[in-house]
C-alpha cells in the first residue's frame, strides 16, 4: 500500500509539472530538477492524504460508537423504568 501511494503521488507531481510546461509552451523537460521536486512533493502529499484519511475514519468510528451508545441508552434504557 505505501508503495502504491508513493508511486501515485510521484506520478501526480510529474504530471503537474509536465502539464505546467505544456501550458506555457515550454519544452517538457525544461528543468529536470523541477520534475524531481514535483514528484517528491506529490509523493509526500498523497502519503499524508492517506494517513489523514485513516485518522479521520478512526475518529468517525469512535464518534459513531458514542452516538450509538447514547441512542441505546436514551431509547432502550427508558423502557426498563
Q: What is the pLDDT of residues 21-79, one digit of tens each?
A: 999 999 988 899 999 999 999 999 999 999 999 999 999 999 999 999 999 888 887 66
State residue 24's pLDDT score: 93
State residue 56's pLDDT score: 98
Length of the chain counted residue by residue: 81
Question: Which grid coordinates are listed for 5?
Answer: 501511494
Split into its structural domains, the chain has a count of 1
Whether the pLDDT of residue 81 is over 60: the answer is no
State residue 46's pLDDT score: 94
Residue 63 belongs to domain spanning: 2-80
Amino acid at each position: 500500500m505505501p508503495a502504491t501511494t508513493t508511486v501515485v503521488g510521484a506520478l501526480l507531481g510529474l504530471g503537474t509539472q509536465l502539464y505546467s510546461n505544456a501550458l506555457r509552451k515550454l519544452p517538457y523537460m525544461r528543468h529536470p530538477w523541477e520534475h524531481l521536486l514535483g514528484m517528491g512533493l506529490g509523493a509526500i502529499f498523497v502519503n499524508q492524504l492517506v494517513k489523514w484519511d485513516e485518522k479521520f475514519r478512526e475518529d468517525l468510528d469512535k464518534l459513531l460508537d458514542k452516538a450509538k451508545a447514547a441512542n441505546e441508552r436514551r431509547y432502550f434504557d427508558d423502557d426498563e423504568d
